[in-house]
Chains A and B, each alone.
Chain A
Amino acid sequence: MEGIWGAGVAQLAPTQVGGPMLLFAVLAAVAVASGVGVVAFNSPVRSALCLIANFLSLALLYFTLGAEMLGIIQVVVYTGAIMVLFLFVLMLLNLAAPGALRESRDLRRLGAGALAAALFVLVVVQAVLPLQEAASPQAADYYGTPMALGRALFTEYVWPFELASVLLLVGIVGSILLAKRRV
């Protein structure tokens, strides 16, 4: 397996703390903290704001990966549109006040926590740990450019692309229908 993933000659060893590592660490910390915050805050507005922070940090991570286009799209679509929609609805429903919904402690939370932990462990053990030596990127450098993305979308992945557009159409129609008031 090592042969495919490239020799483990990392330009920067994982333990070596350098610029990229520091950047990653910061971004990862922000992402983790905001992710936990999304789940933990009682107030939904706070959860939303945490989520925005999470998205932004992820966008920056995409930049580090070299997928610039996608990073931009992340910022524009996710944070710019989806989160705005979330906040809009939250304001509309007037649920900003904490205590509007008391989250009770029940067994499900424990079960969920345990299962999520198990999930995490499984994935790490199965997928992450074996790939520890993979540190050299194999993809072409310009894989994240619009040109590359566009080319891929319109040749190799044209079918899903068209389907996704149909899906978006369906979403539009559906949301308009839902928003209509029955008189």
Chain B
Amino acid sequence: MGEVRSLMAPLWMYLALGAFLFATGVVGVVSRRNPIVIFMCIELMLNSVNLTFLSLARFAPWLPVAHELEPKAWMGGPAAVIFVMAVAAAEVAVGLGIIMAIFRLRDEVDVDEMNLLRG
């Protein structure tokens, strides 16, 4: 473990990377027309968030809580990552199912054509 520790870069680099990936994902979500690709960009965003969580968990000071717990770290970071992954999985499953259903109906997948909810 000791060796692993020394492979770290400073915090701000991780955060910058995460921010960049997030911004990239955002551009992709807005500009792509294929819903599957949109989903993939969403996954990109989620992953960047995961990275941010973890890096902050690693570097953040641990504030003591009422009950002393092992380990002495902000475990909210890794826990959040777990949950994000779970949510992402469920979301992908359901979302792709929806896209399949739409494809069966319309025989095309274009987000711009799916505007039945227009007001």
Shortest beta-carbon distance, A48 to chain B, in Å? 6
The answer to whether B23 touches A119 (Cβ under 8 A) is yes
A48-64 residues at the B interface, CB under 8 angstroms: 48, 51, 54-55, 58, 61-64
The answer to whether B54 touches A178 (Cβ under 8 A) is no
A116's partner among B10, B27, B69, B87 (CB-CB below 8 A) is B27
The answer to whether B79 touches A152 (Cβ under 8 A) is yes
Q: Mark B21-55, 1 if CB is under 8 A from A, else 0.
A: 11111111011111011011101100100110011
Residues of chain A within 8 A of B54, CB atoms compared: 62, 65, 67, 70
Interface of A is mostly: helix
B75-112 residues at the A interface, CB under 8 angstroms: 75-76, 78-79, 81-83, 85-94, 96-101, 103-104, 109-110
Q: Cβ of A149 < 8 Å from any Cβ of B?
A: yes
The answer to whether B90 touches A171 (Cβ under 8 A) is yes
Q: Cβ of A139 < 8 Å from any Cβ of B?
A: yes
Residues of chain A within 8 A of B12, CB atoms compared: 14, 128-129, 131-132, 134
Residues of chain B within 8 A of A172, CB atoms compared: 90, 93
Interface of B is mostly: helix
Residues of chain B within 8 A of A48, CB atoms compared: 40
Q: Cβ of B117 < 8 Å from any Cβ of A?
A: no
Residues of chain B within 8 A of A85, CB atoms compared: 92-93, 96
Supposing A85-B92, A128-B15, A178-B94 touch, asked if A4 and B24 sit within 8 A by C-beta, the answer is no
The answer to whether B11 touches A134 (Cβ under 8 A) is yes
B79's partner among A24, A120, A157 (CB-CB below 8 A) is A157
B residues neighboring A (CB under 8 Å): 1-2, 4-17, 19-28, 30-34, 36-37, 39-41, 43-44, 47, 50-51, 54-55, 57-62, 69-76, 78-79, 81-83, 85-94, 96-101, 103-104, 109-110
A selection of 14 A-B contacts at a CB cut-off of 8 Å is A38-B40, A47-B40, A66-B4, A74-B47, A82-B43, A93-B99, A103-B32, A138-B61, A139-B74, A141-B1, A143-B73, A164-B86, A171-B94, A179-B97
A residues neighboring B (CB under 8 Å): 4-6, 10-12, 14, 19-21, 23-24, 28, 31-32, 35-36, 38-39, 44, 47-48, 51, 54-55, 58, 61-70, 73-74, 77-78, 81-82, 85-86, 89-90, 92-93, 95, 101, 103, 108-109, 111-113, 115-117, 119-120, 123-124, 127-129, 131-132, 134-144, 148-149, 151-153, 155-157, 160-161, 164-165, 167-168, 170-172, 174-175, 178-179, 181
Q: Could you list 11 further interchain pairs (A-B, Cβ under 8 angstroms) beyond the known A65-B58, A164-B83?
A: A24-B7, A35-B24, A39-B24, A86-B96, A93-B109, A111-B30, A116-B23, A131-B59, A138-B61, A156-B75, A179-B97
CB-CB nearest 4 A-B residue pairs: A171-B90, A178-B97, A139-B73, A152-B75
